[in-house]
C-alpha cells in the first residue's frame, strides 16, 4: 500500500471510530458540566420536582400582584402584616438616610453600627435573656450556632422534622446526631438513656423547632425541657415561627408554655412575624460572647444593612407594646380557615398554628391542586420533596392578620368546589 492509500485508509478508520464513539454513552468525565446540569434538570422535570421563581410586582401583604393580576396571598410568613407597617418603613428610611444602604464589612471589622446594637438589646429584652446576637438569616444562625457548642464528644438529639438549617448545622458540627420521632417524648428519652452507656459523650444537646414550619404543630416544650434537665442536656429552640405569634405578648414558645429558664438557647428570625429580615440567637452572655468569637456564619458575613436592623427593632417594639389586636385577628383568621377545612374533610395534620397544611399525597395531585388555586387567584404554591418527605406533599396555607373574613371564606368556597 502506497503512502497516499495508507493515509486515506487511516483517515477512514479514524472517521469510523469517531462515528462509533458518538453512539456510545459518554462517561461523566467526558460530558461537560453544562450537559450534566441539563441532565439533572431534566430528571427533576421528569419527577415533577422542577421549580421556577414567581416574580411578585407588589409589596408583601394579604394581596399581591403577579403578572398584573391580584392574588390573595396565603404563602407569606408575615403573620402580623408588619412588613409594610408605616412606623417600620419610617424607621428603615430614617436609618438609610443616616447610615446609608450597606454596612461595609463584617461585624468584627467596621460593620457594627448603632442599629445593630439597638436591635440586639431589643431582642434580649423581648426574649428575657442576658444578651442576643443578630445573624443575617435563620439558616446562618443555626449553622453558626450548633457547630460552636458541640464537638466530637457531643451528641445531638434532633426532631425528625427539624428545619434544613438545623440538619445542616448538625452536619457541620463534629457531633453524632440521633434523630427522634416527631414530637415523640418516649423515643427521645429512649435515645437519651441509651447515650448514657457511651462514656465518651461529654455534651448532650436537644434541638427542636417550636412551631414546625410545614406541619404547623407545636413541640411539647415542657416535656422536652424536663428531659434536658434529667439528662443534663442543653436545649435549643428554633422559635422562628413562634416569635410574635405564640404567647400572650407574642414572645414565643416559652411564653406559650409559661416556661422561665435562662439556660434555654433561643434562636429566632426577624423575617416572619417581625416582618423584616435577619435572625438572632438569645441566651446567656457567655454563649453570645463565644458566638462572636467562633461562629463562622457571623464572623465571615457582611453585617445586615443598618436600615434593616432599625426596621426590625421598631417591629419588635410594636409587637411588644401594641400587637395584641393584630394577634387576636391572626388567631381568629386561623380558626376560621382551620374549621372550614376540617368541615370539608381535609387532612390538616396536627396543625395548631396559623400554618395550616392540606395533605395531598403525591406530587402530581398536589401540583394539580396548586394550579387550581392559582387559576382562581389564590397564591399557595405546592410543597414537594425535598421540603417534605415522599408522599406527604401538601398545600401550605399561611394565615396572617391582614386577611379578612371574606378572604378566608373565598378560599373555603373554592375548596368546597374542588372537593
Which active-site residues does the annotation give? Answer: 77, 163, 209, 213, 238, 241, 272
Give dist(CA 39, CA 326) in Å, integer. 48
CA-based diameter of the chain, in Å?
99
Residue with cell 408588619: 82
- Order of strands, edge to edge, in the sheet holding 378-379? 63-66, 69-73, 378-379
State the Cα–Cα distance between residues 2 and 6, nearest whole angstrom.
6
CA distance 125 to 133: 12
How many DSSP H helices and E strands does the chain contain?
15, 13
Q: Which residue has cell 368541615?
A: 343
Q: How far apart are CA 238 and CA 295, in angstroms?
A: 17
CB distance 404 to 373 below 8 Å:
no
With beta carbons less than 8 A apart as the criterion, state whether 380 and 399 touch.
Answer: no
Closest by CA position to 264, among listed 134, 114, 149: 149
Amino acid at each position: 500500500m502506497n503512502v497516499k492509500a495508507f493515509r486515506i485508509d487511516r483517515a477512514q478508520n479514524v472517521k469510523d471510530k469517531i462515528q462509533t464513539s458518538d453512539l456510545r454513552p459518554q462517561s461523566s468525565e467526558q460530558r461537560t458540566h453544562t450537559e450534566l446540569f441539563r441532565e439533572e434538570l431534566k430528571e427533576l422535570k421528569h419527577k415533577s420536582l422542577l421549580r421556577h421563581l414567581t416574580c411578585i410586582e407588589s409589596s408583601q401583604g394579604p394581596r399581591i400582584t403577579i403578572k398584573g393580576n391580584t392574588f390573595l396571598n396565603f404563602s407569606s410568613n408575615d403573620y402580623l402584616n408588619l412588613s409594610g407597617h408605616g412606623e417600620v418603613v419610617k424607621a428603615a428610611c430614617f436609618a438609610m438616610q443616616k447610615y446609608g444602604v450597606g454596612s461595609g464589612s463584617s461585624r468584627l471589622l467596621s460593620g457594627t453600627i448603632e442599629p445593630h446594637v439597638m436591635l440586639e438589646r431589643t431582642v434580649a429584652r423581648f426574649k428575657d435573656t442576658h444578651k442576643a446576637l443578630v445573624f443575617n438569616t435563620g439558616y446562618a444562625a443555626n449553622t453558626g450556632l450548633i457547630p460552636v457548642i458541640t464537638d466530637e464528644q457531643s451528641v445531638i438529639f434532633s426532631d425528625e422534622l427539624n428545619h434544613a438549617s438545623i440538619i445542616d448545622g448538625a452536619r457541620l458540627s463534629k457531633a453524632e446526631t440521633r434523630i427522634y420521632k416527631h414530637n415523640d417524648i418516649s423515643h427521645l428519652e429512649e435515645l437519651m438513656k441509651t447515650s448514657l452507656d457511651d462514656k465518651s459523650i461529654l455534651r448532650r444537646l436537644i434541638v427542636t423547632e417550636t412551631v414546625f414550619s410545614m406541619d404547623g404543630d407545636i413541640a411539647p416544650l415542657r416535656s422536652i425541657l424536663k428531659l434536658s434537665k434529667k439528662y443534663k442536656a442543653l436545649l435549643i429552640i428554633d422559635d422562628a415561627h413562634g416569635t410574635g405569634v405564640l404567647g400572650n405578648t407574642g414572645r414565643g414558645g416559652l411564653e406559650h408554655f409559661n416556661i422561665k429558664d435562662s439556660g434555654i438557647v433561643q434562636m429566632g428570625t426577624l423575617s416572619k412575624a417581625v416582618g423584616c429580615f435577619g435572625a438572632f440567637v438569645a441566651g446567656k452572655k457567655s454563649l453570645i460572647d463565644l458566638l462572636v468569637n467562633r461562629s463562622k456564619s457571623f464572623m465571615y458575613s457582611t453585617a445586615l444593612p443598618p436600615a434593616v436592623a432599625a426596621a426590625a427593632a421598631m417591629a419588635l417594639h410594636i409587637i411588644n407594646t401594641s400587637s395584641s389586636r393584630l394577634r387576636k385577628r391572626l388567631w381568629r383568621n386561623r380558626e376560621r380557615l382551620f374549621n372550614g377545612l376540617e368541615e370539608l374533610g381535609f387532612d390538616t395534620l396536627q396543625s395548631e398554628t396559623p400554618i395550616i397544611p392540606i395533605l395531598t399525597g403525591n406530587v402530581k395531585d398536589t401540583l394539580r391542586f396548586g394550579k387550581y388555586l392559582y387559576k382562581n387567584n389564590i397564591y399557595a404554591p405546592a410543597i414537594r420533596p425535598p421540603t417534605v418527605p415522599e408522599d406527604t406533599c401538601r398545600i401550605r396555607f399561611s394565615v396572617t392578620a391582614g386577611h379578612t373574613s371574606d378572604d378566608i371564606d373565598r378560599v373555603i368556597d373554592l375548596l368546597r368546589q374542588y372537593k
